[in-house]
Copies of this chain bind each other. A is one copy, B any other.
Amino acid sequence: MELDDEFLLEVCRVKLNGSSLLTLCNSGQFQALTNSGSTRKVVDIAAVLGKSLGLALVDCSASSETIGVLKQVVDLGCCIVLANKKPLTSTMEDYDKLVSHPRRIRHESTVGAGLPVIVSINRVISSGDAVHRIVGSLSGTLGYVMSEVEDGKPLSQVVKVAKSLGFTEPDPRDDLSGMDVARKALILARLLGWRINLDSIKIESLFPKEMGPNAMSAEDFLDSGLLLLDKDIQERVTKASLNGNVLRYVCVIEGSRCEVGIQELPKDSPLGRLRGSDNVLEIYSRCYNEQPLVIQGAGAGNDTTAAGVLADILDILALFPE
């Protein structure tokens, strides 16, 4: 079934309004599967078309609930394309299953949105050039926050502005906890062959446990909790600037160390120069030893994320006879 332009524009309108695609269901142009039979139906289709036609199951959700169906279609020889980080940051067993046919999985948009991060690392690895260090700023939200507090603005104010600009999750603690960056770091580490889980990663949260979602509502966090964090961050910013440095929330994968958190970095380094919501990734290998391979650009946004998913789908299609 092919979707025409008019219908796709209608889809965009519905999503822009924050409505569910289910409201379009009676147009007859597509099926929305919501009940428990949906997995069965997807698997049935994958069984018939997956291996021969290059049908790809595309997961743009942010849910762990898709892992089961993804594993089933992979077993059937079907290709998968993920923007969803959860399936790749579950257990090693799940991961091994999902990547068991490396040619049939693409997940560029899980790290740095549409930035060519995964494809670049895969090329370096496949050429036999061992990667020994990856450093990056992989959260547009935290990148924005850190460069704004550097300019002297209070953290509480910066986070509220970021939220109003749509740069954060509905509950900004989902970004400030560092968990999103940790998932990206885990995906990169596993790409390098590290057999580790999320709980092996050292994660620095920008707020203490007492302000976590289990202890405080999002409103209370925004209205009062955040204010209590201003002083500490401001002191760290000032201390760093006395050394000519700035603070950045970075991911480091090196030696046996995989961690995400605030680091003091030279103002005049690629990471230190980073402004706004751009992502940057530095890859050090045998070939890119003293000077890293650097990839930089918008690492968030609906358009770049969608562009990454689309490029993945077309890349998969190239595997199948013309």
Interface set of A (CB-CB < 8 Å, partner B) = 103, 108, 114-116, 119-120, 123-124, 126-129, 276, 278, 286-288, 291-298, 301, 303-304, 306-308, 310-311, 314-315, 318-319, 322
User: Is A291 a contact of B310 with CB atoms below 8 Å?
Assistant: no
Contact status A297-B307, CB under 8 Å: no
Do A293 and B296 have beta carbons less than 8 Å apart? yes
Q: A293's contact among B127, B291, B297, B310, by CB below 8 Å, is which?
A: B297
Which of B278, B287, B294, B297 meets A114, CB within 8 Å? B287
Give 8 A-B contacts (CB < 8 Å), ordered by A residue. Answer: A119-B123, A123-B308, A123-B311, A127-B307, A129-B303, A287-B303, A287-B307, A292-B297
Given contacts A293-B296, A318-B103, contact A124 B288 (CB under 8 A): no
Query: B residues within 8 A CB of A292?
Result: 297
Copies of this protein in the complex: 2
Q: For the A-B complex with A123-B308, A126-B315 known, give 20 more contacts whose Cβ atoms are closer than 8 Å.
A: A103-B322, A114-B123, A114-B129, A114-B287, A115-B293, A116-B119, A119-B119, A119-B120, A123-B311, A127-B307, A127-B308, A127-B310, A128-B310, A287-B298, A287-B301, A288-B297, A288-B298, A291-B297, A295-B295, A296-B296
Shortest C-beta distance, A156 to chain B (Å), equals 27
Q: How far is the CA of A34 from the CA of B97 in the complex (A)?
A: 49
Residue A311 contacts which of B126, B304, B308, B319 (CB distance < 8 angstroms)? B126
Q: Name A101's closest neighbour in chain B (CB-CB).
A: B322
Measured CB to CB, the closest approach of chain B to A105, in angstroms, equals 12
A-B complex: 9 closest residue pairs judged by Cβ atoms: A127-B307, A293-B297, A294-B296, A123-B311, A116-B120, A127-B311, A127-B310, A287-B304, A126-B314
Q: Which residues of B contact A293 (CB under 8 A)?
A: 115-116, 295-298
Bound: A120/B116 CA distance, A:
6
- Chain B residues with Cβ below 8 Å from A276 are 291
Contacts of A126 in B (CB 8 A): 310-311, 314-315
| Pair B287/A291 contact, Cβ less than 8 Å | no
Residue of B nearest to A302 (CB): B287
Instruction: Decide if B114 touches A116 in the complex (CB within 8 Å).
Output: no
- Expressed in whole angstroms, the Cα–Cα distance for A156 and B23 within the complex equals 71
Tell me, in angstroms, the Cα distance from A310 to B124 when the chains sit together: 10
With contacts A116-B119, A319-B319 taken as known, whether A286 is within 8 angstroms of B311 at the C-beta atoms is: no
**Least Cβ–Cβ distance between A303 and chain B, in angstroms:** 5
